[in-house]
């Protein structure tokens, strides 16, 4: 089974996309059918991801590559395929697992919405495109999937098309990420011009392998920074962070899936994927392009944490928190802690999705009230939501031992402490971590503790279809720390 999957990894992104087309085909009225189809598709992708993940654990430096020649023009050819290595496999697992929880949650959250089937079609399409980004075998295929992810994000943020604010937010998201993608595209063109190939691993001729990296020569910093532009746009780094808070106009499951767990993770994933280009000629693990990554991450992390302290919309706090955490991840990648950064990415995917879904449960229970100053005392009225939200909050704040966030943040701070270039990122990120604990505690106290304020008086706990994914994600947030404990 595992060997069949490792040679057919392309099925993992293809399944949700086929499901999305099927759902669009069956029409608006088949509501439950579309939801069940979407969940089955995601479950199939999850199963395949698990089977694909297992062999990557056994062998050190595992990499399964498949480059299929689609068509040739002249003496060049377009090759599509996949790369399966521990990075891709772990990302696939996180995306499918978090996606499955969110799909099930959406059945309850979007229950009264009249565009129920369209929502699941878009969710499946997004899931397939994101998986495509993760397993792509060449920068071209990655870019194509990248743009499809941006399209899916536009469709999902602006899902409630009657709202002008949602349409404006969707436009803002698309245009801002497009600006980053322009830089990304120029970087791809330049890389192709210098090295002659965009395929990652190609029996020694791939663009991430030493031969091509040497051919790029002195412009490798510029190429790396241009590719980083795409990551800046997609992951909401400064100065292209402006779209993330406005993207909260979309339904909460969308915020959980796209802007917490997966799409914004694509930028961090991109930097990790093309890390050889960033680290060419590294002296002590420092290159000019990596320095830029660190500083932009630092600015983003600190700035967003400061803004989050002053927010009063429950989802905006989480949105700025996401921007801040992504900054932290970029810092980690920049100082050389690639494994730590990716571990934080995976853990963050779990607990941020948990937090967003918990916020969705709160919003649903309070009949679409989102201002935390009008909430309070929900600890007794929505106990399961409170418990899972508290677990997510402690994981995000980095409470040690039991919660995965604590381990990963410790790793990152450890890596920044040993950066030869400067100690400023370490201290600023430490401040960011403290601020994270501050605003999350503030949010939890406002929402769950104290006396019930305006909207909370008639709150009720969410149905089981919404609380079970919460419990599952909370379990993942805790269990992930078992993986991370230095054994």
Partner 1 sequence: MSAVAFVIISILTLSAALAAATNPKLMHAALSFAVMFVGISAFFFLLGAEFVGLVQIFVYIGAVAVLIVFTILLTRHDQEKTRGFNWSGVVISIAVFAGLVWAILGTKSLSVAPGRFAFVSVRRIGELLMINYAWPLLCVGVLLTAALIGALILVMEDKRE
DSSP single-letter state for residue 372: G
Q: Is 73 in the site for partner 1 (CB under 8 A)?
A: yes
Q: Which residue, 74 or 164, is less far from partner 1 as judged by CB? A: 74
Q: Is 164 in the site for partner 1 (CB under 8 A)?
A: no
Q: Which residue, 76 or 485, is less far from partner 1 as judged by CB? A: 76
Q: Which two tokens stand for residue 52?
A: 């694909």
Q: Which residue, 4 or 70, is less far from partner 1 as judged by CB? A: 70
Which range of residues in 72-80, 109-117, 441-449, 478-486 is near partner 1 by CB under 8 A? 72-80
Closest contact distance (angstroms) between CB of 76 and partner 1 is 9
Task: Please identify which residue in 58, 75, 114, 203 interacts with partner 1, judged by CB under 8 A.
Answer: 75
Which range of residues in 69-77, 99-107, 246-254, 432-440 is near partner 1 by CB under 8 A? 69-77
Closest contact distance (angstroms) between CB of 343 and partner 1 is 42
Q: CA-to-CA distance for 100 and 106, rounded, in angstroms?
A: 10
Q: Which residue, 73 or 401, is less far from partner 1 as judged by CB? A: 73
Closest contact distance (angstroms) between CB of 120 and partner 1 is 22
Task: Please identify which residue in 58, 60, 74, 204 interacts with partner 1, judged by CB under 8 A.
Answer: 74
Q: Which residue, 78 or 186, is less far from partner 1 as judged by CB? A: 78
Which range of residues in 70-78, 113-121, 150-158, 365-373 is near partner 1 by CB under 8 A? 70-78
* CB-based contact 347:484 (threshold 8 Å): yes
Binding residues for partner 1, rule CB under 8 A, total: 4
Q: Which residue, 70 or 449, is less far from partner 1 as judged by CB? A: 70
Q: CA-to-CA distance for 142 and 110, rounded, in angstroms?
A: 31
Q: Is 401 in the site for partner 1 (CB under 8 A)?
A: no
* CB-based contact 87:272 (threshold 8 Å): yes
Q: Which residue, 125 or 243, is less far from partner 1 as judged by CB? A: 125
Which range of residues in 68-76, 185-193, 382-390, 449-457 is near partner 1 by CB under 8 A? 68-76
Q: CA-to-CA distance for 253 and 353, rounded, in angstroms?
A: 8
Closest contact distance (angstroms) between CB of 167 and partner 1 is 15
**What secondary structure does DSSP assign to 100-163, as a single string?**
HHHHHHHHHHTTT-TTHHHHHHHHHHHHHHHHHHHHBSBHHHHHHHHHHHHHHHHHHHT-STT-
Which range of residues in 66-74, 210-218, 232-240, 335-343 is near partner 1 by CB under 8 A? 66-74
* CB-based contact 408:343 (threshold 8 Å): yes
What three-state secondary structure class fits 30? coil
Q: Which residue, 171 or 453, is less far from partner 1 as judged by CB? A: 171
Q: What length is written for the chain?
A: 487
Q: Which residue, 71 or 401, is less far from partner 1 as judged by CB? A: 71
Smallest CA-to-CA distance from 108 within 466, 467, 472 is with: 466
Closest contact distance (angstroms) between CB of 74 and partner 1 is 4
Max Cα-Cα span within the chain: 73
Q: CA-to-CA distance for 98 and 46, rounded, in angstroms?
A: 10
- Phi-psi map region of 66: left, alpha, beta (phi>0 left; psi -120 to 50 alpha): beta
Q: Would you say the C-alpha torsion 437, 438, 441, 444 has a positive or negative sign?
A: negative
Task: Please identify which residue in 71, 114, 218, 485 interacts with partner 1, judged by CB under 8 A.
Answer: 71
Site for partner 1 in 304-323 (CB under 8 A): none
Residues whose CB falls within 8 Å of the CB of residue 197, separated by 6 or more in sequence, listed in order? 205, 206, 207, 212
Q: Which residue, 75 or 284, is less far from partner 1 as judged by CB? A: 75
Q: CA-to-CA distance for 425 and 416, rounded, in angstroms?
A: 7
Strands 64-73 and 76-84, by their bridges, are antiparallel
* CB-based contact 227:270 (threshold 8 Å): yes
Which range of residues in 73-81, 123-131, 263-271, 368-376 is near partner 1 by CB under 8 A? 73-81
Could you list the residues that contact partner 1 (CB under 8 A)? 71, 73-75
């Amino acid at each position: 089974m595992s060997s069949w999957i490792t040679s057919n990894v392309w099925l993992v992104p293809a399944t949700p996309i086929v499901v999305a087309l099927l759902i669009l085909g069956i029409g608006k009225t088949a509501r439950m059918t579309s939801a069940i189809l979407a969940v089955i598709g995601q479950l199939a992708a999850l199963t395949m991801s698990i089977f694909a993940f297992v062999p990557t654990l056994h062998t050190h430096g595992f990499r399964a590559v498949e480059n299929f020649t689609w068509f040739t023009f002249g003496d060049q050819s377009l090759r599509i395929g996949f790369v399966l290595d521990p990075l891709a496999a772990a990302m696939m697992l996180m995306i499918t697992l978090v996606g499955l929880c969110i799909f099930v949650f959406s059945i309850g959250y979007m229950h009264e919405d009249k565009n129920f089937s369209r929502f699941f079609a878009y969710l499946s399409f997004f899931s397939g495109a994101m998986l495509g980004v993760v397993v792509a075998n060449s920068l071209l295929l990655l870019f194509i999937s990248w743009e499809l992810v941006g399209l899916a994000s536009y469709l999902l943020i602006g899902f409630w098309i009657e709202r002008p604010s949602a349409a404006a937010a969707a436009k803002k998201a698309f245009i801002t990420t497009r600006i980053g993608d322009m830089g990304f595209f120029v970087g791809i063109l330049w890389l192709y011009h210098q090295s002659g190939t965009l395929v990652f691993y190609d029996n020694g001729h791939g663009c991430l392998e030493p031969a091509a990296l040497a051919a790029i020569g002195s412009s490798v910093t510029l190429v790396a920074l241009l590719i980083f532009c795409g990551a800046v746009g997609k992951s909401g780094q400064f100065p292209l962070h402006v779209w993330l808070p406005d993207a909260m106009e979309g339904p909460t499951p969308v915020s959980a899936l796209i802007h917490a767990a997966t799409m914004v993770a694509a930028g961090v994933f991109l930097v990790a994927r093309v890390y050889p280009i960033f680290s060419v000629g590294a002296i002590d693990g420092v290159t000019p392009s990596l320095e830029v990554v660190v500083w932009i991450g630092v600015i983003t992390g600190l700035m967003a944490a400061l803004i989050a302290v002053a927010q009063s919309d429950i989802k905006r706090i989480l949105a700025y928190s996401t921007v801040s955490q992504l900054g932290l991840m970029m810092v980690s990648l920049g100082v050389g802690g690639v494994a730590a950064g990716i571990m934080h990415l995976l853990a963050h995917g779990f607990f941020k999705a948990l937090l967003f879904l918990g916020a969705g449960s709160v919003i649903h229970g309070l009949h679409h009230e989102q201002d935390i100053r009008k909430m309070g005392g929900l600890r007794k009225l929505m106990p399961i939501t409170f418990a899972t939200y508290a677990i997510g909050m402690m994981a995000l704040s980095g409470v040690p031992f039991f919660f995965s966030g604590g381990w990963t943040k410790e790793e990152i701070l450890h890596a920044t402490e040993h950066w030869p270039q400067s100690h400023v990122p370490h201290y600023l990120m430490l401040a960011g971590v403290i601020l994270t604990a501050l605003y999350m505690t503030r949010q939890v106290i406002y929402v769950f503790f104290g006396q019930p304020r305006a909207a909370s008086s008639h709150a009720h706990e969410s149905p089981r279809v919404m609380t079970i994914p919460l419990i599952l994600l909370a379990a993942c947030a805790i269990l992930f720390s078992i993986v991370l404990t230095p054994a």
